[in-house]
Amino acid sequence: MEFSKNNTNFAKSIMTTDTFVKQKAIRVKDDSGEYTIAGVAKGAGMIHPDMATMLCFITTDADIEKNYLKTALKRATDCAFNMITVDGDTSPSDTVIVIANGLAKNEIIKNGTGNGFQKALSELCIFLAKCIAKDGEGATKLVEVHIEGAAAIGDARLASRIVANSPLVKTAIHGNDPNWGRIIVAIGRSGAEIIENKVDLYLNGVCVMKQGKPIDFNKKSLSKNMADNKTTTIHVNLNIRNGSATAWGCDLSKEYVTINSAYTT
Amino acid sequence: MEFSKNNTNFAKSIMTTDTFVKQKAIRVKDDSGEYTIAGVAKGAGMIHPDMATMLCFITTDADIEKNYLKTALKRATDCAFNMITVDGDTSPSDTVIVIANGLAKNEIIKNGTGNGFQKALSELCIFLAKCIAKDGEGATKLVEVHIEGAAAIGDARLASRIVANSPLVKTAIHGNDPNWGRIIVAIGRSGAEIIENKVDLYLNGVCVMKQGKPIDFNKKSLSKNMADNKTTTIHVNLNIRNGSATAWGCDLSKEYVTINSAYTT
């Protein structure tokens, strides 16, 4: 489902360095009835957990209990807008708002009903969050960092965000360099619990480290693979317990420097 | 005092992306006698508190008690190598070593004697640390961030390091943009205690904010001033209590991206 032309123009009018409109609508059919959730977001630079600088407005015609809606938005934001980074910088103007008007006349959603709402809201927020990361100032690629097997979910969140925000990882990806060393070092400084000889690391699905030992992979071919894909995926299994999280970021290009050092009196 | 040519060649041999030799020797005359402290350092990228990636070797002919020397080095490192940043990334190979052989035959330095040792050692370390920040990969400028009036020294250290490491502050300085907003926002996200209407901010000595209010300054002239100087100084008085600290970093240029995204199989 697409926004109308007028809505797209509104979205364009609130963009600054954004290069494309970030919007999505999801039609949900669940045990409470049928309703729609739609969202539009803005943001490209000064992006870092938690959120800044971005705006996101979500509307739904679902009939939903206020506290349930609040909790659902917090959950969705935590695994979406709070897991993206462009440059590590933040600003005071972060906003994610959801408004529900109940016009869908579904059975009111609260704990135990409307089982599709949280799933759809999280999907919508993750979609918009990934759009922001992908549209990072000067970015040529979306970077997805998935950490699993962490000692706790907090460790997985921390490590994935540190990797996604590392200038050295970001520049390596910009240069299509399958530089697993920079990734491991970023995880190492994150503070997450690590058992060195347990770490498995995959780059765009290719295993480059198994149980802490570098695997002899074809660098040239993996570099070409990275060059050919608009998304670079970093997948790490710490093989400790079952904490997992995903963070999104982008590569660091000369264009980022150009955009942010341009100055005219 | 300069190192001999042979020493310079040794220093060159341990450099990677370093563009100049970082060395200094200080002759000290104090109540314990006369002695020399000399140091050489390496480092340009992957630099962030605390220290990484850098090496520094310091030698002295002073006769000095072991524990006193250890404490003195810790103090010097804390206000020097632990206060620099190039890109926020770290590595596992940080080293600062001091070796003393006692050949100067001064009266042994310990608590209460050798009043010149700590001062000279700190001066040496700060000099070498500034060299590393100035030689940051792709850097065209040294950035000095001095925070005073903080609620505690920890707040001043935190805030100064966050400002020095902010990509948006670094790109603004690269573009000679007297962008006080980015500096204030970086202080704001540092976690340091701030009372908004008490903050004074100076850029290259020019007051751009007084008691939290922007001052009407000549942007064109300050931008030219920034362009003409190889060091940009950011001086902030939080006017709360008397915590102070200085951090050093560098601007963020396209050359940093070029250096770190260059990849050949």
Cross-chain CB nearest to B263 (options A223, A256, A258): A223
Catalytic residue among A53, A60, A85, A246: A53
State the complex-level ipTM: 0.76
Residues of B in contact with A189 (CB under 8 A): 52, 89-90
Evaluate if residue B10 carries a pLDDT over 50: no
Mutate to test the interface with A, among B50, B93, B168, B223 (most CBs of A within 10 A): B168
What are B52-66's pLDDT values in tens digits?
567 889 999 999 999
> Which helix or strand (DSSP H or E) is residue B13 part of?
helix B5-13
Chains A, B: CB pairs < 8 Å = 109
Record the tokens describing residue A255, joined without a space.
């264009």
Q: Distance, in angstroms, between A38 CA and closest chain B CA?
A: 31
Evaluate if residue A223 carries a pLDDT over 90: yes
What pLDDT does B1 receive? 31
Across chain B, mean pLDDT equals: 87
Residues of A in contact with B252 (CB under 8 A): 257, 261
The label of the residue with tokens 């508190």 reads B49
| Chain B touched by A171 (CB under 8 Å) | yes
More confident of the two residues A94 and A44:
A94
Alpha-carbon distance A229 to A176, whole Å? Answer: 10
Sign of CA dihedral B146, B149, B154, B155: negative
> Which helix or strand (DSSP H or E) is residue B146 part of?
strand B142-150
Record the tokens describing residue B188, joined without a space.
């704001």
What are B141-172's pLDDT values in tens digits?
999 999 999 999 999 999 999 999 999 899 99
Q: What is the C-alpha end-to-end distance of chain A, expressed in Å?
A: 43
| Chain A touched by B171 (CB under 8 Å) | yes
Record the tokens describing residue B6, joined without a space.
């042979």
Of A84-88, A126-130, A233-237, B251-255, the least confident: A84-88
What pLDDT does B53 receive? 65
Residues 6+ apart with CB under 8 A from A183: A163, A166, A169, A201, A203, A234, A236
Q: What are phi and psi of B264, to 5 degrees?
A: -130, 135
| pLDDT band, residue A49 (cuts 50/70/90) | low
The label of the residue with tokens 């060393």 reads A181
| Chain B touched by A140 (CB under 8 Å) | no
C-alpha distance from residue A80 to each of A121, A170, B22 (Å): 10, 20, 45
Average pLDDT for residues A41-45, to the nearest whole number? 74
Residues of A in contact with B179 (CB under 8 A): 263
Average pLDDT for residues A217-235, to the nearest whole number? 96
In chain A, the residue whose alpha carbon lies closest to the alpha carbon of B264 is A177
Average pLDDT for residues B246-257, to the nearest whole number? 92
B261/A171 touch (CB, cutoff 8 Å), yes or no: yes
Write b or e for each residue in B197-210: b if 16 or more Cβ atoms lie within 10 A of its Cβ, otherwise e: eebbbbbbebebbe
What are A83-122's pLDDT values in tens digits?
888 777 666 667 889 999 999 999 999 987 878 999 999 9
> A53 an active-site residue?
yes
Record the tokens describing residue A233, joined without a space.
């995926």
| Chain A touched by B172 (CB under 8 Å) | yes
Residues 197 to 216 of A: which have CB under 8 A from any B CB? none
